[in-house]
Amino acid sequence: MSAPTLSASEFAIVTGMTRDRLRTWERRFGWPSPERAGGGARRYRTEDAARVVAVRRLHEIGVPLDHAIEQRSDPPTGSVGASTWRNLVDELPFGVVLLSGPVPLTVEFANGVLRARPDGPRAGDLLDDVAPWFGGDDAAELRDFFTSDARVARVTHPDWAAGLARPAQSLAVQVRQIARSRPLVALIGMDAGGARRSEAARAALRHERGRLHDQDDVQRLWATATRDVAVATATPGMRGLRAGLHVLRRRLDALDAAVYVVDEGVAGLVTSLRGRFAQIGEDGPPDDVQLGAVSRCVWLPPQSAAGLGAPDGAGLLLAGAPRGARSHAVIGLAMETAPELTPSGRELFEAGAHLVARAVP
């Protein structure tokens, strides 16, 4: 039975070559040697594909082409040499360390990703020397694994990715014992520092997601409160005014809520929802409070708020709106401390306060 073959075009595709390059190799080195089908068409043996790829890779890393062709070998399927495994381990993107032991625990090999670190482990390092803090139960666990019946386990060791300055965990695998070899354990794991950074990043994202969720909840509550104020103040007269005022007081858990009106420059208290506000004195508001100019959200500390009849020790959160050419209404919420309003929450509070202010009879 003849060996399976591929056309020149198919063979070029699977080997990453061009048909012209294959002919050049054939002309210069007599290899690969195609078979001739009817009409003289070239057909290549499928078993030559792996050999061509191997030669191409050797040539790409600097081996002269004639030497690469001479060095090609045909190991039986399933036979993988030690150098192949070493190259594979060396290219892995996470740390792999071979330790001999159990006493002393010695680094026999560290793969490329760890050797590239200036503070990474080096062949010949004794853990007792480079990480003297590493001892106790963790070191005993690692030593005991050399004689354990288990073939695979998770063990603690110095963190290769942090200059051996703190503990980390890796998957430990006992290496099968062969003649004239020290007992070896392979420690395989992702960069512990990178894992911690990833976890910190994930925690930050979870925190931010929670913060945005909370902010969204607050926004929704304020939007609902503004809608409730609009519905309440649709009722004419003092009844609608006090209903809207009640929504704002409840939303911010204020001690009391009041409405001031400034007419022709004279300020007076219209209503106190819970009766805890006093009338403004004959001297009027303190000099640092211009009620007739209040529109956006303003916080008055207790000292200034006292001049507006606020309850003892309370500050005032104010917002207002004009009622006409010479009249202005201001909503005041008496609170022990200034509320923490987000910019959107502040805007929604102002909108609700303006609705109440405009409802003043």
pLDDT in tens, 253-295: 889 999 998 888 788 888 998 999 998 877 667 776 788 888 8
Give the separation between CA 280 and CA 289, rounded to whole angstroms: 12
Give the per-residue pLDDT at 60: 85
Give the separation between CA 225 and CA 248, rounded to whole angstroms: 7
Sign (positive or negative) of CA dihedral 111, 114, 118, 122: negative
Q: What is the CATH number of the domain that holds 39?
A: 1.10.1660.10
User: Is the pTM higher than 0.85?
Assistant: no
Separation in Å, CA 241 to CA 73, 238, 355: 95, 5, 9
* Domain end (from 138, 173, 190): 190
Q: What is the mean pLDDT of the chain?
A: 82
DSSP string computed for 248-265: HHHHTT-SEEEEEEEETT
Give the per-residue pLDDT at 1: 45
Residue 304 identity = S
End-to-end Cα separation, the chain, in angstroms: 106
Q: If you average pLDDT over residues 100-125, what whole number do you get?
A: 88
Label the pairing between strands 184-189 and 266-272: unpaired
Closest CA to 133 of 97, 98, 159: 159
In a shared domain, residues 117 and 67:
no
In a shared domain, residues 125 and 165:
yes
Give the separation between CA 26 and CA 10, rounded to whole angstroms: 17
In a shared domain, residues 276 and 176:
no
In a shared domain, residues 235 and 284:
yes
Give me the domain span that covers residue 22: 5-71
Q: What is the CATH number of the domain that holds 289?
A: 3.30.450.40
Percent of the chain whose pLDDT exceeds 70: 85
Q: Across-strand partners of 335?
A: 315
Q: If you average pLDDT over residues 97-122, what whole number do you get?
A: 88
Q: If you average pLDDT over residues 5-23, what whole number do you get?
A: 89
Q: If you average pLDDT over residues 54-67, what whole number do you get?
A: 85
Given a cut of 80, is residue 180 above it in pLDDT? no
Sign (positive or negative) of CA dihedral 80, 86, 90, 94: positive
Contacts 24+ apart (CB under 8 A), 148-157: 148/174, 150/174, 155/187, 157/97, 157/99, 157/127, 157/187
Look at residue 171 and tell me if it is in a domain.
yes
* Domain end (from 71, 103, 126): 71
Closest CA to 119 of 156, 157, 169, 165: 165
Question: Sorting pLDDT into bands at 50, 70 and 90, what band is 167?
Answer: confident
Residue 75 identity = P
- How many distinct structural domains can be found in the chain? 3
Separation in Å, CA 355 to CA 98, 227, 321: 74, 10, 8
CA-angle at 39, arms to 33 and 40, nearest 5°: 20
In a shared domain, residues 347 and 322:
yes
Q: What is the CATH number of the domain that holds 109?
A: 3.30.450.20
In a shared domain, residues 43 and 125:
no
In a shared domain, residues 136 and 173:
yes
In a shared domain, residues 238 and 317:
yes
On whether the CB atoms of residues 146 and 105 are closer than 8 A, the answer is no
Phi, psi of 332 (to 5 degrees): -125, 125
Give the separation between CA 109 and CA 123, rounded to whole angstroms: 5
Higher pLDDT, 3 or 194: 3
- The secondary structure of residue 39, as a DSSP letter, is G
